[in-house]
Chains A and B, each alone.
Chain A
Amino acid sequence: MSSTSSAQSGIDPRGPRFGAVITTVMLALAFVLLWTPQGSAGYNVACVLLAVQTLVFALGAIVGLSAQPYGWIYRRFVRPRLSPPSELEDPAPPRFAQVVGLAFAVVALISAIFGAPVVAIIATGCALIAAFLNAAFALCLGCEMYLIGRRLVRR
């Protein structure tokens, strides 16, 4: 039986958790501000927050976790103050989470800019739940959906 990704090297699991906390705050703010009238200052701030978060997800998903800005903040400012991690984590699941986050963020950003706030709110809400579960419970919702997706797609 082939085993998946058995490399013993890995990343500090607290890095993606730290990033998920910032992502949760960003998405929660954007989610609330999307309820303000289109064209208002609040709505515009929501669009800026979504744009920044989309860029963050894109860097993590396309370039890799080493290029993810929140991960960089963690490594530069937080990890030096902490003890070394007790165990290392496979980088594939948190990177996949960035891909899932990117998909929702792109839909949210485009919908918000082109005047479909309801779609933007739903997409932001989906990404928010995933980021929150990751931050609060170390649960990777996108990873959980992966096998279910494969079950549905491939006969």
Chain B
Amino acid sequence: MIIGVIVVVAVLLVGTAFGLWRRRVDGRLREAHQAGDIAHDETLTHEQIGVELGAKATLVQFSSAFCQPCRATRTLLSDVAAMLPGVITVDIDAEHHLDLVRQLHIMRTPTVLVLDSTGLIRTRASGLPRKADVIAAIGALG
């Protein structure tokens, strides 16, 4: 049983390390060309996302049915879109767009993509992003 105690402590330490790492990277916006895990110059068209692109930026959210932070992310992106002219937001159900999910290497929900006016993916985040970061990413589109 002493082995069991040692193993359970080890398991919880590994869980703590994972949780702390996840907390650090969660929602962090990364420039797409730095993200490494997506192809260079990935562009989405209005056919793919189902709405016309925003004149300034399009915020694309991938959601799923069993996703705790999706609701808060949706609210945050809607707030940003309402605040900034030329910015629109679209919510895509990942389960029903698995081709797109695979093409973009989306592993979890919510994933947020910031597209410029041409549909080029400039920034992405996994998890609930910070509002200031989203606004800064839109500002950086030029």
A binding-site residues for B, Cβ under 8 Å:
1-6, 13, 28, 31-36, 42, 87, 89-90, 92-94, 96, 125, 128-129, 132-133, 136-140, 142-144, 146-148, 150-151, 154
- CB proximity of B41 to chain A, nearest CB, Å: 23
User: Besides A28-B8, A96-B65, A136-B15, 18 other CB < 8 A contacts?
Assistant: A1-B50, A3-B63, A4-B67, A31-B11, A33-B4, A35-B3, A89-B68, A89-B71, A92-B66, A132-B12, A133-B19, A136-B16, A143-B68, A144-B108, A148-B107, A150-B64, A150-B94, A151-B98
Q: Which residue of B is nearest A35, CB measured?
A: B4
B binding-site residues for A, Cβ under 8 Å:
1, 3-5, 7-8, 11-12, 14-16, 18-19, 22-23, 49-51, 63-68, 70-72, 74, 90-96, 98, 101-102, 106-109
- Main secondary structure, interface of B, reads helix
User: What residues of chain A lie closer than 8 Å to B98, measured between beta carbons?
Assistant: 150-151, 154
Residues A133 and B18 in contact in the complex (CB < 8 Å), given A2-B93, A32-B5: yes
Contact for B101 among A42, A143, A147, CB less than 8 A: A147
User: What residues of chain A lie closer than 8 Å to B102, measured between beta carbons?
Assistant: 151
User: What residues of chain B lie closer than 8 Å to A13, measured between beta carbons?
Assistant: 68
Q: Which residue of A is nearest B68, CB measured?
A: A93
Q: How far is the CA of A103 from the CA of B19 in the complex (A)?
A: 23
Q: How far is the CA of A42 from the CA of B63 in the complex (A)?
A: 44
Cross-chain pairs A/B with CB under 8 angstroms, 9 sampled: A1-B49, A3-B63, A3-B74, A4-B67, A4-B91, A90-B68, A92-B65, A146-B66, A147-B107
Q: Is the CB of A150 within 8 A of B66?
A: no
- Main secondary structure, interface of A, reads helix
Residues A4 and B15 in contact in the complex (CB < 8 Å), given A144-B108, A147-B107, A151-B98: no
Q: How far is the CA of A144 from the CA of B22 in the complex (A)?
A: 12
Q: Is the CB of A1 within 8 A of B11?
A: no
Residues A4 and B70 in contact in the complex (CB < 8 Å), given A129-B11, A133-B19: yes
Q: Which residue of B is nearest A154, CB measured?
A: B98
Q: How far is the CA of A107 from the CA of B138 in the complex (A)?
A: 48
Q: Which residue of A is nearest B3, CB measured?
A: A35
Q: Is the CB of A143 within 8 A of B15?
A: no
Q: How far is the CA of A42 from the CA of B5 in the complex (A)?
A: 13
Q: How far is the CA of A102 from the CA of B52 in the complex (A)?
A: 43
Q: Is the CB of A125 within 8 A of B65?
A: no
Q: Which residue of B is nearest A89, CB measured?
A: B68
Contact for A147 among B50, B91, B108, CB less than 8 A: B108
User: What residues of chain A lie closer than 8 Å to B63, measured between beta carbons?
Assistant: 3-4
Q: Is the CB of A4 within 8 A of B93?
A: yes
